């Protein structure tokens, strides 16, 4: 093993971590306001990716347009999902909404299998994204560079949004104290819709990056990344935006480094590492790395 190898793994880990971070934010901001764990989040991602896929493959549109379409469709689906499935349960128990989100997840996945078939479809990214740079013994594709830089840009935009705009500050206020936010004249339903839109759009970006990386998509593609991003959100402290990003990067790096540094015999246990990391973090910090340790909303 040498320094180049480690650097290579770090870059790969940052790429995967970016994807987890983008997806994890949706879990975290929704949970922050509604105390709802939206297990259908990964499936919204899948819908967004298929929309992006459609414009690229069918209309031969540029990748950037696919990205925008995927974000837009996912945002709309997220808003619709909340309106139809979760809003009627706004005052139900956390258990009821969690089970509902699982049901919605299974529903969307099966709807996907019925409409576009379970058969994976090849997803090709444009030539310029497949270009691989060789810097010494480290090789990095444009796709990886795009993932990392796009994630950083989107995170910065999100931070500006929640600290500089009225709507963004209102979002944080809702997560802090929903009743007090109502008393400020904030229309909670608008904020919740915006939250779902943002979380879903970011997840769609993550999904499209995964699709570009693996070169294929299928109706169940959101499940495992969704689950891992949820774990990332919990590791970082669910409810916290910074925590979700941090958890995503930690998880991505840890996953890649463990696979890369341990003997190859351990590779099949890649997903198990994720849970081991989760357990270790929660043993030390039960409310996550940046979690506030607030109890459940009564």
| Residues near another protein, by CB under 8 A | 166, 169-170, 172-173, 175-177, 179-188, 292
The answer to whether the beta carbons of residues 21 and 245 sit under 8 Å apart is yes
Q: How far is the CB of 254 from another protein (least distance, A)?
A: 28
Q: How far is the CB of 174 from another protein (least distance, A)?
A: 9
Cross-strand pairs, 139: 134
CB 32, min distance to another protein, A: 10
Query: What is the DSSP pairing of strand 138-141 with strand 216-217?
Result: unpaired
Backbone angles phi, psi at 169, to 5 degrees: -65, -35
The distance of closest approach from Cβ of residue 100 to another protein in the complex, given in angstroms and rounded to an integer, is: 23
Residue closer to another protein, measured from CB, 226 or 237: 237
Whichever of 6 and 89 has its CB closer to another protein, that residue is 89
Q: For residues 190 and 280, which CB has a smaller minimum distance to another protein in the complex?
A: 190
φ, ψ of residue 141 in degrees (nearest 5): -85, 160
Q: Which is nearer to another protein, 145 or 169 (CB)?
A: 169
Shortest distance in whole angstroms from residue 175 CB to another protein:
8
Q: Which residue lies nearer to another protein by CB, 177 or 267?
A: 177
Rounded Cα distance, 13 and 257, in Å: 7
DSSP string, 72-98: HHHHHHHHHHIIIIIGGGTTS-HHHHH
Alpha carbon of 203 to those of 67, 101, 179, 181, 207: distances in Å? 11, 16, 28, 26, 6
Q: What is the DSSP letter of 215?
A: S
């Amino acid at each position: 093993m040498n320094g180049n190898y480690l650097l290579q793994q770090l870059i790969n880990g940052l790429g995967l971590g970016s994807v987890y971070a983008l997806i994890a934010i949706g879990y975290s901001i929704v949970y922050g306001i509604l105390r709802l764990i939206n297990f259908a989040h990964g499936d919204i991602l899948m819908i967004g990716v298929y929309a992006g896929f459609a414009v690229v493959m069918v209309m031969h549109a540029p990748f950037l347009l696919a990205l925008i379409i995927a974000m837009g469709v996912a945002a709309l689906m997220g808003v619709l999902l909340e309106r139809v499935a979760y809003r009627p349960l706004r005052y139900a128990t956390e258990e009821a909404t969690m089970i509902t989100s699982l049901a919605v997840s299974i529903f969307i996945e099966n709807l996907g299998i019925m409409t576009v078939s379970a058969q994976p479809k090849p997803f090709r990214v444009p030539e310029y994204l497949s270009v691989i740079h060789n810097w010494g013994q480290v090789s990095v594709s444009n796709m990886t560079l795009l993932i990392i830089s796009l994630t950083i840009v989107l995170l910065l935009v999100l931070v500006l949004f929640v600290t500089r705009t009225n709507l963004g500050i209102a979002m944080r206020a809702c997560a802090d104290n929903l009743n007090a936010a109502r008393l400020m004249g904030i229309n909670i339903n608008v904020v919740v819709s915006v939250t779902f839109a943002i979380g879903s759009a970011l997840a769609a970006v993550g999904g499209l990056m995964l699709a570009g990386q693996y070169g294929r998509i299928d109706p169940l593609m959101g499940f495992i990344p969704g689950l891992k991003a949820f774990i990332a959100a919990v590791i970082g402290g669910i409810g916290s935006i910074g925590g979700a990003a941090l958890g995503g990067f930690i998880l991505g790096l840890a996953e890649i480094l463990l696979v890369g540094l341990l003997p190859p015999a351990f590779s099949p246990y890649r997903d198990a590492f994720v849970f081991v990391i989760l357990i270790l973090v929660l043993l030390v910090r039960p409310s996550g790395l940046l979690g506030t340790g607030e109890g459940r909303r009564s």
